[in-house]
């Protein structure tokens, strides 16, 4: 199966020109936004671009959206070059820009969608049908004739989705889609994306964020971008495997056995009280856990539970970024 999105060794450098570089002929500073970035996205996948502010995520989005031309490397959207075949790429993708400034505040939601639909060259009857269809699908029928300035942040977000879907694109590019939303609106937006856009509509989504929990919840695979480079990519199990040196296990024991753990020769990673019990973590290989538990019991430790602790995305991100810094 051919990738819907494919990038190989993409680079982009921005020249920072100021009045000093023009009038005093000073050498302009150059910022390397992307430095050989590579990844691919499969059809129907939610692929995450994760990284701190300034990592190069938005530059990648703009290159794919035909808004910025890359300096070198290979980029394709549905088999088309965003530089040489920009008109074909734009037919295949929708950019969800959550900035309220990209809408006309005094126009109603319906008027906004009608205006942007005209940019897709949709004829009058088809345009009206498509706009009404999207307003109904987004649950904005009752807000259709209300000025955009009176929309809540969640409603503005839905209208942004509607605008991106006017041309029924195959690929959706989402750049920090929940950045300005409160927790409830952000949760609703994620659920809407999963249930409607992905499961029902079958869209391919590139989800760009620096929210680690959100990326873990939404993405099938992801790439970590740092200083313009993709320093790791893959599924969550793969990402965890990059930093695992033996698994972590959390063992629950009775409160009176805390000292016996150390007497048994185990060195906990950390130890804490939880609901009247003592819990501690140890690093060990899976095949060694039965002997660890047997050793504890033989030393008088009463063991209640033992479960493997999954490494979360925050730990993976922190470790990989520190290693690259």
Banded pLDDT at 321 (limits 50, 70, 90): confident
Give the chain as a 3 state SS string: CCCCEEEEEEEEEEEECCHHHHHCCCCCEEEEEEEEEEEEECCCCEEEEECCCCCCHHHHHHHHCCCCCCCEEEEEECCECCCCCHHHHHHHEEEECCCHHHCCCCCEHHHHHHHHHHHCCCCHHHHHHHHHHHHHHCCCHHHCCCEHHHCCHHHHHHHHHHHHCCCCCCEEEEECCCCCCCHHHHHHHHHHHHHHHHHHCCCEEEEEECCHHHHHHHCCEEEEEECCEEEEEECHHHHHHCCCCCEEEEEEECHHHHHHHHHCCCCCCEEEEECCEEEEEEEECHHHHHHHHHHHHHCCCCEEEEEEECCCHHHHHHHHHHHHC
> What does the pLDDT look like over 95-109, one tens digit per residue?
987 666 789 999 999
> What does the pLDDT look like over 163-216, one tens digit per residue?
999 988 999 999 888 877 788 888 888 888 888 889 988 999 999 988 888 888
d(Cα 99, Cα 102) in Å, to the nearest integer? Answer: 6
Banded pLDDT at 127 (limits 50, 70, 90): very high
Instruction: Report CA torsion sign: 16, 20, 24, 26.
Output: negative
> What does the pLDDT look like over 257-312, one tens digit per residue?
777 777 666 666 566 677 777 887 777 777 888 888 888 888 888 888 888 776 66
Phi, psi of 63 (to 5 degrees): -65, -45
Q: In order of start, what are the domains of the chain with their CATH numbers?
A: 5-234 (3.40.50.300), 247-311 (3.30.70.120)
d(Cα 78, Cα 60) in Å, to the nearest integer? Answer: 16
How high is the pLDDT of residue 293? Answer: 86
């Amino acid at each position: 199966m051919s990738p819907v999105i494919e990038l190989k060794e993409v680079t982009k450098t921005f020249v920072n020109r100021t009045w000093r570089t023009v009038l005093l002929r000073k050498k302009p500073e150059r910022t390397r936004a992307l430095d050989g970035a590579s990844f691919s996205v499969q059809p129907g996948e939610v692929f995450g671009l994760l990284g701190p502010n300034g990592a190069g995520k938005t530059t990648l989005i703009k290159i794919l959206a035909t808004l910025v031309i890359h300096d070198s490397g290979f980029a394709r959207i549905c088999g088309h070059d965003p530089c040489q075949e920009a008109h074909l790429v734009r037919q295949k993708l929708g950019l969800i820009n959550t900035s309220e400034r990209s809408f006309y505040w005094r126009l109603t939601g319906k008027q906004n969608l009608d205006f942007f639909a005209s940019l897709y060259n949709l004829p009058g009857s088809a345009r009206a049908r498509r706009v009404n269809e999207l307003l109904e699908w987004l649950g904005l029928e009752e807000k259709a004739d209300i000025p955009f300035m009176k929309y809540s942040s969640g409603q503005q977000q839905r209208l942004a989705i509607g605008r991106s879907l006017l041309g029924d694109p195959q690929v959706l590019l989402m750049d920090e889609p929940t950045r300005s939303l409160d927790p409830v609106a952000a949760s609703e937006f994620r659920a809407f994306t999963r249930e409607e856009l992905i499961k029902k509509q079958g869209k391919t989504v590139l989800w760009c964020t620096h929210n680690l929990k959100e990326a873990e919840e939404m993405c099938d695979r992801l790439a970590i971008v740092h200083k313009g480079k993709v320093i790791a990519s893959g599924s969550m199990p793969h990402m965890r495997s990059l930093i695992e040196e033996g698994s972590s296990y959390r063992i629950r024991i009775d409160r009176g056995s805390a000292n016996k753990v150390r007497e048994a020769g185990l060195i906990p990673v950390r130890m804490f009280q939880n609901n009247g019990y003592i819990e501690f973590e140890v690093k060990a290989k899976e095949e060694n856990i039965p002997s660890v538990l047997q050793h504890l019991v033989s030393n008088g430790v009463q063991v209640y539970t033992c479960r493997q602790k999954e490494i979360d995305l925050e730990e993976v991100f922190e470790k990989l970024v520190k290693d690259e810094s």
